[in-house]
Structure 1
Amino acid sequence: MKAFTLASLSLLGAVTAQQVGKEQTENHPKLSWQTCTGTGGSSCQTKQASIVLDSNWRWVHVTSGYTNCYTDNTWNTTSCPDGATCAKNCAVDGADYSGTYGITTSGNALTLKFVTKGSYSTNIGSRTYLMESDTKYQLFNVIGKEFTFDVDVSKLPCGLNGALYFVEMPADGGINKGNNKAGAKYGTGYCDAQCPHDIKWIEGAANSEGWTPSENDKNAGSGKYGACCPEMDVWEANSVASAYTPHPCSKNGLTKCSGTECGDGDERYSGTCDKDGCDLNPYRMGNTDFYGPGATIDTTKKFTVVTQFIGSGTKLQEIKRFWVQNGKTYATPETTFSEIGGNSITDAWCEKQKTHFGDNNHFKQIGGLAKMGESLARGHVLVMSLWDDHAVNMLWLDSTYPTDADPSKPGIARGTCPTDSGKPEDVETNAPDSQVTFSNIKFGPIGSTFKAL
């Protein structure tokens, strides 16, 4: 469900490429995080790092000048007669993070603004990655570990998603793959379990073949190819609803897909990745007063999210969630459906949930937590993003979905947002000042990053 909206550059165009431009110096905003040992968050060491903007948002022009290689939602057929040639002809440039994209950092905090109006552009949303160095993404193996962060979603209304998640994309951004000379330094190499077709560059070539401009997004389109890889959604949320979801795939790492293997449309459950995943959304599990404004976890205020990946080696057995706010620790509440029970993700829990909700269990067919664990053990890149949904208005996260289903049927109600909410044209016009802040990231063995209070 990651139909990300790209930057809308009114003069320059919202574009990406593979060579390296020289018009804007690329300076990665600094962001610190911590690795922990011991217990209760008492022994944590700060790491000085940075974040980088995904290449899909960047200005790209011909290497010999300023002519756009992609403008609005169409390719320049002169500079891009085919994917390989396009990647040779076009240069991706550096980013003005705060001025153009509304991305700022301060110490251990990252803030992503929704709509940013610059001198030459109006930008919508963003996608960023945590860096280990100037040219390499930070890799995480979370098996047997816990990942903790603070989040402020108080300025995220219905229809928006402030997401923090892991994907098995290449640590170097796929540099030198095909004609990719930009690499992780310029945010290349993205993939996820939705096998997105709006990725403009895959494995060092333009995704221009069969490109179709979007009918409802003037800055986006879709090409013949998709970019698939396993994905662990640690956090997909706004102020109304939240969920965490493993999405295993049958193949390792980034896979350039086409046709049935992408799992598009009616072939959703024939693809190489589990697009539905096995989600745990407290509201969907019947706990309608746990998360939201004024709820047990009061989303008008900052809180801490702890995710534990229980297992060892390549074996993932269980994913548990704890919450900390106002000096008190909360476990995710037990589901109210007796046919399911439990409050954490296991293979058995997913089977019961899929059966009771009447959902296709592609999660099990792909390999469930075992396959997800194998992927996580190979190392994943941390993604932090803010986006609106041009496909189904984020209703799968925060409303009744499918919209024509009986909301009293188990699994249909996911949040309190109206079924006519979340339209991108509405949220971009009426909620441009929306933003999300992720901060205080900690990572270490289970029990090392926080103290239960």
Structure 2
Amino acid sequence: MPASAQQVGTLKPEEHPPMPFWTCTEKGCTKEMKSLAQDSNWRWIHNGQGTNCYDKKEWDTTLCPDPETCAANCHLDGITSDTYASSYGVTTEPRGVKLELVTKTPYGTNIGSRLYLMDTESTYQMFKLKNTEFSITVDASRLPCGLNGAVYFVEMDADGGKLASDGTNTAGAKYGTGYCDAQCPHDMKFIKGKANVLEWNSTLSTPIGKYGSCCAEMDIWEANSRATAYTAHPCNLTGSMLCDGVECGDTTKGERYKGVCDKDGCDFNAFRLDNKTFYGRTSNMQDFDVNSRAPIMVVTQFVTSDGTDTGDLVDIRRFYMQNGKLIPNANSSLAEVKGNSLNKQLCDEMKTVFGDTNDFAAKGGLKAMGEALDRGMVLALSLWDDDTANMLWLDSAFPPDADPATPGILRGPCKKTSGKIAYTRKQYPRASVRYLDLMVGKIGTTSESHRPEEAQGGDEEYGGDDRRLSEQFLA
């Protein structure tokens, strides 16, 4: 029998914060109260009596000499309802949740958060999105350059990897385990029930270990108040996997396109497609088609080849609603790239015009993305900053040393120095994002006419003519 690992701590109970969730049909929307779980990477890991297994970026070498021993010795503890707010900056609201960037505690400082929507106390809500529409209202007004309020789906296991770990993960989804994405992150402290202690590099702002955690990823909304994109990232695998070596596709090793996942993805960023007045933030709401100064209802439709749940995914469409107005997605302003949604033609044309490697097509394109959506994916809500690329790939010039006149280099209006984490954390510790009115249904059913009363309208506290917003967020 394998040693029990990633054990559950008993020093603090887990108290998931509530999250409203609407399921919609042609007859209207039905509300359920779901909940959220913080990712395991943010949690306290100790030996069962309160001695840290991990502290100040380092593993305790006595408790954690190797992956198996560490997992057997260490416990993943709960987060109480008040601690979600006081330690992680996660506060609930009647319509959703608010996440803050910097939260200081007596034990240290937490940066951002990553939360998963729960179905039950011990399983994640699974979404099968082909031939379906997903909507969420986002308030990004308090997110300056360099930050990312992200709403996305990843192909995690519903139980957080308990069954797949062959008994070495006893904590599971209740404690936020099992994360993976198309970047195959190496910073996960536990993967498949084993501690990622080998080759642990604590000299980095975000320490990393030898292994990564890979799976397909569908980015619905990656944004701050100045730039936004939605992106499909297929992978050559089913479910999640622990990667080792070339299969991780590590950019630093020159292996980015040799891995199992498409790290670039096919992205729709209006600014990158030379439509520079579609999305942004100013005090004059008319300056942009979608102005991030006010809350935005983001609607994403997953269109199949034959209009059925079983057809191939062929198009990912987007529109917005703001202040009661329906706003179609931006059209590309590049002559060589046509369209306003993610489909094969637009993805192929972008890769050609931008001179990018078409790893999206190599990894199966929209068809592979649809297959992952069909198997079921978990919803993640997060707020993060970027110590690797300073978020320039989202809101500035990237690569930073490339000629900004080259098509595809400019992704947003932010300065190339704006996303350094030492600056953002010092200047904008109270930066935040709000996620509201989470809805799913058949295509066309989450639109304004079908929304429940309490999920309609603007938000006077954060939108419109709110004079309390600091002018620093307009810089």
TM-score normalized with structure 2 length: 0.89
Please state whether the residue corresponding to 2:136 is helix, strand or coil: strand
Q: 1:315 & 1:308 partners in 2: Cα distance?
A: 14
Counterpart residue number, 1:313: 310
Secondary structure at the counterpart of residue 147 of structure 1:
strand
Q: Show the counterpart of 1:242.
A: 228
Alignment of 1:396-435 (within 5 A): 396-435=393-432
**Distance (whole Å) between structure 1 residues aligned to residue 107 and residue 192 of structure 2:** 30
Alignment of 1:47-446 (within 5 A): 47-63=32-48, 65-95=49-79, 96-176=83-163, 177=165, 178-215=167-204, 217=205, 220-265=206-251, 266-294=254-282, 295-311=288-304, 312-313=309-310, 315-446=312-443
Residues in 1 aligned to 2:203 and 2:443: alpha-carbon distance in whole angstroms: 44
Q: Bigger CA drift: 252-261 or 169-178?
A: 169-178
d(CA) in 1 for partners of 2:221 and 2:22? 19
Deviation of 1:121 (Å): 2.7
Q: Is residue 36–residue 45 contact of structure 1 (8 Å, CA) maintained in 2?
A: yes
Secondary structure at the counterpart of residue 318 of structure 1: strand
Deviation (angstroms), 1:23: 1.4
SS state at 1:222 partner = coil
CA distance in structure 1 between the partners assigned to 2:449 and 2:51 by the alignment = 56
In structure 2, how many angstroms separate the alpha carbons of the residues matched to 1:410 and 1:331?
A: 24
SS in 2 for 1:212: coil
Which whole-Å CA distance do the structure 2 matches of 1:190 and 1:107 have between them?
A: 27
Task: For 1:141 and 1:314, locate their aligned partners in 2 and report how far apart those are by CA, in whole Å.
Answer: 13
**Which contiguous aligned blocks of 4+ residues in structure 1 show a shift greater than 6 angstroms?**
none
Q: What is the alpha-carbon distance in structure 2 between the residues aligned to residue 121 and residue 107 of structure 1?
A: 30
Aligned counterparts of 2:297 and 2:401: Cα–Cα separation in 1? 35
Per the alignment, residue 10 of structure 1 pairs with none
- Shift in Å at residue 452 of structure 1? 7.6
Deviations 1:127-177 (A, max 9, x none): 000000000000000100010010000000011000000000010001252
Contact map agreement 1:314 1:377 (CA 8 A) in 2: no
Match of 2:463 in 1: none
What percentage of aligned pairs have identical amino acids? 51
Q: How many Å separate the matches in 2 of 1:179 and 1:314?
A: 37
What SS does the aligned partner of 2:346 have?
helix
- In 1, Cα distance between equivalents of 2:449 and 2:130: 21
| 1:348 alignment partner, SS class | helix
Once the two structures are superposed, residues 35-89 of structure 1 have per-residue CA deviations (whole angstroms, 9 ceiling, x without a partner) of 0000xxx6000011000000000011002x2111111111111001111111110
The aligned residue for residue 6 of structure 1 is: none
Q: Is the 8 A contact 1:30 1:107 kept in 2?
A: no
Partner secondary structure for residue 193 of structure 1: coil
1:195, 1:56 → 2: CA distance?
Answer: 15
State the AA in 1 paired with 2:123.
Answer: K
Q: Distance in 2 between matches of 1:121 and 1:404?
A: 35
CA contact (8 A) 1:100 1:121 kept: no
Identify which range, 340-349 or 125-134, moves more after superposition: 340-349
Q: How far has the Cα of 1:450 moved from its partner?
A: 0.5
Measure how far apart 1:314 and its partner are. 5.3
TM-aligned CA deviation for residue 107 of structure 1: 2.5
* Alpha-carbon distance between aligned partners in 2 of 1:310 and 1:348, rounded to the nearest angstrom: 15
Report the more deviating stretch, 325-334 or 419-428. Answer: 325-334
Q: Which amino acid aligns with 1:397?
A: L
Which stretch of structure 1 is more off in the superposition, 193-202 or 403-412?
Answer: 403-412
SS in 1 for 2:266: coil
Between 329-338 and 241-250, the greater mean CA deviation after superposition: 329-338
The structure-2 alpha-carbon separation of the partners of 1:99 and 1:315, relative to structure 1 and needing over 3 Å to count, comes to same
Amino acid aligned to 1:300: R
Q: Determine helix, strand or coil for the equivalent of 2:268.
A: coil
Shift, 1:200, TM fit? 0.7
TM-score, structure 1 length as denominator? 0.93
Aligned CA-pair RMSD:
1.3
Q: Deviations over 1:293-329 (max 9, x none)?
A: 1322111111110000001315111000101112111
Map of 2:466 onto structure 1 = none
The aligned residue for residue 12 of structure 1 is: none
Counterpart AA for 1:93: D
How far has the Cα of 1:406 moved from its partner? 1.5
Q: Which amino acid letter does the alignment assign opposite residue 68 of structure 1? A: N
2: CA distance between counterparts of 1:334 and 1:114? 32
**What's 2:461 paired with?**
none
Instruction: Provide the C-alpha distance between the structure 2 equivalents of 1:452 and 1:291, rounded to a whole number of angstroms.
Output: 24
Amino acid in the other structure paired with 1:269: Y
